[in-house]
Amino acid sequence: MWMYKLITAHSHKHKITNCTARAHRTPPDWAHETLLEHDAACRFFRYEMNDNNMGFGVFYAMFRVVVVVPDAAGGDAPGCELR
């Protein structure tokens, strides 16, 4: 998952082990998440955030990949997005 405050995130065996903050030196945000469900055919995943330093309690979320169709005015490019 993209975190705008991180420059790099190094992992070992699918776990983040080290994060590098941007130049303004604020500590990087982090979260411990557990993947609960993944369905490649239906293009979605569901996870639980267990712990973090951003002030959130425990919560569950689901992301689905949705195809983006360009509108008649050509405002959106074809592709996909997470919802």
Residue 45 within a domain: yes
When divided into structural domains, the chain yields a total of 1
Residue 72 pLDDT: 66
- Domain containing residue 43: 6-82
Residue 77 within a domain: yes
Segment 22-32 shows an average pLDDT of 74
Residue 1 within a domain: no
Residue 81 pLDDT: 84
* Angstrom distance (rounded) from CA 16 to CA 44: 22
Write out the two tokens for 28.
């990087």
The string of pLDDT tens digits covering residues 37-78 is 999 999 999 999 888 888 888 889 999 988 888 776 666 677
Residue 46 pLDDT: 92
For residues 11 and 73, the model is more confident at 73
* Angstrom distance (rounded) from CA 71 to CA 77: 8
